[in-house]
């Protein structure tokens, strides 16, 4: 088996069906399996996907979070390579085959695709650096928008790296992350302390620390519909996002920086969360 494609579904029956179909319709040159892990959906997803014969369907019975559900899929997989694919994405023609071919020809062990939004804009999180205190400060001061070509101010989302240029990066996004099994055997599974956000950044951090290079590969393109990014977001989603930022900081940076920096980071994360919650409450 060349690649095991893991998709986690939670109440996104229609989107998930389209994601699966995009794989079936575009992968031509490699053997694969699609493992769909349903996280206790209540929208009729389970009934719909139990009937499909072209997937391995696993039901958790409850919402275990993105990390744990993916880990369940990885443990059940047989491929020499794993692809995490979000349920709200569409793999464009050749994306998966090209990714496989590039990794086979170069020896690269971890690869992310060019991820675009429905309007054609780049989903900036698909190529980025780690959220160090300085990178985060420049980003939230919007200096990366003003000085896009700066390797200092533009580091958070690597705005200085051409979106159509293949390049080594520190971090790619879990919406499309292709990883050799040997890497997972080396660094371990996704950290289940991250319920919904940040698990991909943490995984990439552990991979880089273990000496693996990560490639942003724009020859493979997917469309990301971002199901959770409605005009008004759920309060729980906002809290989970900022909680994951602090979990990551505590895990990887707290010992590297002094108490003053850590206190400032904690205050900044909580303050930004409070601001986003307030703004969100004003939306309809």
Sites in the chain below the pLDDT cut of 50: 228-232
The predicted structure's pLDDT at residue 235: 83
Per-residue model confidence (pLDDT) at position 22:
98
CA 248 and chain centroid, separation = 15
d(CA 23, CA 19): 7
pLDDT at site 266: 93
Query: Cα separation of 38 and 25, whole Å?
Result: 22
What pLDDT score does 233 carry?
A: 57
Give the containing element (helix H, strand E) for 127: none
d(CA 127, CA 106): 19
- Would you state the pLDDT for residue 231? 42
d(C-alpha 177, C-alpha 171), whole Å: 10
Predicted confidence (pLDDT) per residue in 195-237, tens digit? 989 999 999 999 999 999 999 999 999 999 985 434 445 788 8
As a whole number of angstroms, the distance between CA 1 and CA 83 comes to 13
Please determine, looking at this structure, whether the domain spanning 3-127+163-224 carries the CATH number 3.10.580.10.
no
Amino acid 229: pLDDT: 37
Show the tokens assigned to 181: 């099994």
The two structure tokens encoding residue 51? 């009937």
156 close to 128: Cβ distance less than 8 angstroms: yes
């Amino acid at each position: 088996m060349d690649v095991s494609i893991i998709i986690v579904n939670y109440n996104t029956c229609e989107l998930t069906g389209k994601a699966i179909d995009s794989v079936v319709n575009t992968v031509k040159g490699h053997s694969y399996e699609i493992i769909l892990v349903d996280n206790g959906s209540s929208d009729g997803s389970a009934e719909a996907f139990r009937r499909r014969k072209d997937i391995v369907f696993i039901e958790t019975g409850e919402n275990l979070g993105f990390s744990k559900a993916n880990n369940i899929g990885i443990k059940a997989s047989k491929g020499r390579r794993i692809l995490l694919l979000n349920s709200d994405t569409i793999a464009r023609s050749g994306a998966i085959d090209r990714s496989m071919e590039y990794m086979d020809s170069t020896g690269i062990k971890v690869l992310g695709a060019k991820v675009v939004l429905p309007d054609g804009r780049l989903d900036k999180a698909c190529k980025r650096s780690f959220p160090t205190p300085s990178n985060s400060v420049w980003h939230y001061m919007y200096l990366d928008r003003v000085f896009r070509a700066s390797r200092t101010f533009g580091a958070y989302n690597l705005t200085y790296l051409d979106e159509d240029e293949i390049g080594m990066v520190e971090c790619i996004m879990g919406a499309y992350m292709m990883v050799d099994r040997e890497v997972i055997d080396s660094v371990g599974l996704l950290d289940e302390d991250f319920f919904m956000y940040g698990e991909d950044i943490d995984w990439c951090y552990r991979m880089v620390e273990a000496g693996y290079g990560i490639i942003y590969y724009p020859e493979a393109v997917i469309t990301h519909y971002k199901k959770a990014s409605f005009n008004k977001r759920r309060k729980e989603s906002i809290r989970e996002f900022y909680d994951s930022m602090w979990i990551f900081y505590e895990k990887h940076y707290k010992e590297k920086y002094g108490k003053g920096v850590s206190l400032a980071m904690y205050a900044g994360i909580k303050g930004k969360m409070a601001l986003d919650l307030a703004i969100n409450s004003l939306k309809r």
